């Protein structure tokens, strides 16, 4: 039965150690105990390794630290040797890159495990993991996602999943229980995939760096696996908190576009070229009109210029890589 399967909880950290520790404190209260935690730190500067080592000591967890170039050492350890692994990435490879590195390590430890991708800015309910695992009793399910609630207002449902309108190049969260049938992707803050899914569909697409990864996954698997929103797997999410915090750190020039805004726009164009080339011209024109509004009406000249460069770089990237 899937309830006996090992689960690897995959987390990507970037300068968010306080959120990470709060999330870990909720994980240890789960009513499903067969799990390991694998964290990829994307070259943070907030002493994540020291903070995590102290937490593991305080909570009597076996802790192993690797640099990204030391992953080959995994041949000399077994899953019994650790409860928590931290992989210190020497560069920031983005959301997809960090998750992929952690999944590759985990699948080398347990080739038939389940992998729970969980944002560090979340707090989980004790039954959340067990409910996700149960979804995989159906072998046609490849991805399962939690019900995300507002961390700051625990009664507010943020998302059961998402709905992407391909002709417009826009996605939105589905937060109404009677709209579950409209969901065509699951939100990456808390989603689970099987080892078979990884072997068949592949890892997250690292072309995006930030945003669109889970929508890309859903599109790639739609003819092979079902995606399942699990409404009674409850996870509380500080939606956008980490992105805003890191935007302030990574984009000190407030006149320009934020890093996350540039990632969103570039990913939007790359995704459209890859999956809906028939809609790409219309989506591009819409984005150009939006940038013209930013330039002429809002008079945010530098921001508009940087966003134009994002569109150009997206087309350049796809052309050079023959999308």
Q: What are the tens digits of pLDDT across the range 78-103?
A: 889 999 999 999 999 999 999 999 99
| Separation of alpha carbons 40 and 66, rounded Å | 10
Q: Mean pLDDT of successive 10-residue segments in the chain (323 residues)?
A: 79 95 98 97 91 97 91 72 94 94 94 97 98 96 98 97 96 96 97 97 95 96 97 94 59 72 95 96 96 95 95 93 73
Q: Does 211 share its domain with 275? A: no
**What is the Cα–Cα distance from 292 to 155, expressed in whole angstroms?**
39
Q: Same structural domain for residues 226 and 269?
A: no
Whether residue 262 sits in one domain with residue 233:
no
Considering the domain architecture, whether residues 88 and 25 belong to the same structural domain is answered as: yes
Residues 155 and 293 reside in one and the same domain = no
Domain boundary residue, one of 206, 239, 272: 239
In a domain, 245, yes or no: no
| In a domain? residue 6 | yes
Domain presence at residue 119: yes
Q: How far apart are CA 204 and CA 212, in angstroms?
A: 10
Q: Are residues 262 and 201 in the same domain?
A: no
Q: How many domains does the chain have?
A: 2
The answer to whether 77 and 30 have CB atoms below 8 angstroms apart is: no
Percent of the chain past pLDDT 70, that is, above it, reads 93
pLDDT in tens, 23-62: 999 999 999 999 999 999 999 988 899 999 999 999 999 9
Task: Tell me the β-bridge partners of 162.
Answer: 173, 185
User: Are 142 and 275 found together in one domain?
Assistant: no
What span, in angstroms and rounded, lies between the C-alpha atoms of 113 and 123?
23
User: Of the residues 239, 259, 287, which one is the last residue of a structural domain?
Assistant: 239
Concatenate the DSSP letters of all residues of 5-54 into one string: S-EEEEEEESS-HHHHHHHHHHHTT-S---EEEEEEE-S-SS-HHHHHHH
In a domain, 244, yes or no: no
Same domain assignment for residues 143 and 186: yes
Asked whether residue 132 is assigned to any structural domain, the reply reads yes
Contacts of 47 (CB under 8 A, 6+ apart): 17
Query: Residue 15 in contact with residue 44, Cβ under 8 Å?
Result: yes
Residue numbers of the domain that contains 304: 251-320
- Tell me the CATH number at 155: 3.90.550.10
Tens digit of each residue's pLDDT (9 = 90 or more) over 52-66:
999 999 999 999 999
Measured CA to CA, the distance from residue 229 to residue 132 in angstroms comes to 9
DSSP assignment letter at 255:
T
């Amino acid at each position: 039965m899937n309830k006996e399967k090992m689960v690897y909880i995959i987390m990507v950290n970037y300068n968010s150690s306080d959120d990470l520790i709060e999330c870990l404190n909720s994980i240890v209260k789960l009513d499903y105990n067969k799990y390991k935690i694998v964290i990829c730190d994307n070259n943070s500067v907030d002493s994540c390794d020291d903070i995590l080592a102290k937490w593991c000591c305080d909570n009597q967890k076996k802790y192993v630290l690797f640099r990204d170039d030391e992953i080959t050492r995994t041949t000399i350890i077994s899953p019994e040797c650790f409860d928590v692994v931290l992989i210190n990435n020497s560069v920031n490879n983005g959301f997809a890159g960090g998750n992929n590195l952690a999944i590759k390590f985990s699948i080398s430890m347990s080739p038939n495990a389940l992998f729970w991708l969980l944002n560090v800015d979340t707090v989980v309910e004790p039954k959340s993991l067990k409910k996700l695992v149960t979804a995989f009793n159906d072998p046609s399910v490849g991805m399962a996602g939690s019900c995300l609630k507002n961390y700051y207002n625990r009664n507010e449902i943020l998302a059961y999943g998402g709905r992407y309108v391909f002709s417009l190049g826009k996605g939105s969260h589905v937060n109404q229980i009677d709209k579950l049938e409209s969901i065509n992707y699951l939100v990456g803050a808390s989603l689970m995939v099987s080892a078979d899914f990884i072997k068949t569909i592949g890892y997250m697409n690292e072309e995006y760096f930030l945003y669109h990864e889970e929508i890309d996954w859903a599109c790639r698997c739609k003819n092979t696996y079902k995606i399942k929103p699990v409404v009674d797997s409850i996870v509380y999410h500080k939606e956008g908190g980490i992105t805003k915090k890191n935007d302030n750190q990574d984009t000190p020039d407030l006149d320009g576009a934020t890093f996350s805004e540039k990632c969103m726009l570039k990913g939007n164009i790359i995704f459209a070229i890859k999956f809906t080339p028939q809609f790409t011209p219309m989506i591009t024109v819409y984005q150009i009109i939006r940038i013209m509004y930013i330039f002429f009406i809002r008079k945010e000249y530098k921001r508009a210029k940087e966003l134009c460069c994002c569109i150009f770089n997206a087309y350049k990237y796809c052309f050079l890589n023959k999308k």
